[in-house]
Structure 1
């Protein structure tokens, strides 16, 4: 009996810690696509700007969030070994955000052999929510051709503290750019 209690305690604690970690994380799905004909490892310099071709969401695309997104992308790209060059970059990282209204339909089937007696049936409920998307498009600056695209989408609960917002945006950009290759070693050569 004591051995079962000793075994059950750590498992229970791991379950509690797992639930806490899951409840603190954002529910964002991250994905990417790229042009397989382009060697993404050849680039060393970049610049960051907001996407030109689309309207930004008034809240997520505000000037405050645009600066926050731009700073986060610069920080993540530099951590990957790329050098910021606003004059003649090899790639341009453009970002955009949007929010879509979504609806989730839930069904609770209550059919049973006794439904004629208890009056069972099918209960349907709807849940309305907003889905946010953070999109990074990377263009080759020599021909303005998109060579890589990454995005994160899902329900985002806006943090109340500025530090938390900065951290959330930086972590989201790092998650999106996780699959973008590191800069090659000769990026670190001195000029």
Structure 2
């Protein structure tokens, strides 16, 4: 009987944990684009800054979030083998965020064979929401031309704790940079 109770408790804890993980997951769509004429694997050093020409969103573009975004990009780039070089980087990673008001229109057709007699059956409803976008633009330093762009967009539910915010931003930046190639093995041989 004790074994059954322990098994039920552990199963219950697993189910609750799974539900919480699914509830906390973001519904962000991630995509990227790049300049196919540039060998992205040739770069070894980078620096991070906010995009120059952007309108700052009062919430996502706040000083706190700009710091979080910059720190997250640095951490992800270094985990991919790149070395931070503020003086003479080979690539510059610029980030920006924005929020757009969106509207979704839903139609619920409830026609039956007898609706022609009773009248219509099409219910239309609208749903207003805000879509957030996190955008990373990577520029080649010597030409200052964009060579790679990645973005995540969707509805973002604000986390409640500081650690949750930082991990959400880091996970988002990691998802965006997932397709950016890792640095070559000789990254740290340069001085």
Alpha-carbon deviation of 1:16?
Answer: 9.1
Pairwise CA RMSD: 2.0
Higher mean displacement: 111-120 or 143-152:
111-120
Aligned counterpart, 1:24:
24
Aligned counterpart, 1:108:
108
Provide the C-alpha distance between the structure 2 equivalents of 1:159 and 1:24, rounded to a whole number of angstroms: 8
Unmatched segments (≥5 aa) in structure 2: 1-13
Aligned counterpart, 2:4:
none
Provide the C-alpha distance between the structure 1 equivalents of 2:172 and 2:134, rounded to a whole number of angstroms: 8
Q: Is the 8 A contact 1:112 1:120 kept in 2?
A: no
SS in 2 for 1:185: coil
Aligned counterpart, 2:70:
70
1:144–1:163 Cα change, 3 Å: same
SS in 1 for 2:186: helix
SS in 2 for 1:58: coil
TM-score (norm 2): 0.87
Aligned counterpart, 2:175:
175
Count of residue correspondences: 178
Provide the C-alpha distance between the structure 1 equivalents of 2:114 and 2:157, rounded to a whole number of angstroms: 42
Alpha-carbon deviation of 1:98?
Answer: 0.2
The 5 A counterparts of 1:17-166 are 21-116=21-116, 119-166=119-166
Alpha-carbon deviation of 1:22?
Answer: 3.8
Aligned counterpart, 1:3:
none
1:107–1:18 Cα change, 3 Å: farther
SS in 1 for 2:86: coil
Unmatched segments (≥5 aa) in structure 1: 1-13
SS in 2 for 1:167: helix
Render the CA deviation track for 1:7-39: whole Å, top value 9, x for unaligned. Answer: xxxxxxx99987665433100000000000000
Provide the C-alpha distance between the structure 2 equivalents of 1:178 and 1:151, rounded to a whole number of angstroms: 11
Provide the C-alpha distance between the structure 2 equivalents of 1:133 and 1:56, rounded to a whole number of angstroms: 12
Runs of 4+ in 1 over 4 A off after TM superposition: 14-21, 116-120
Q: Is the 8 A contact 1:104 1:128 kept in 2?
A: yes
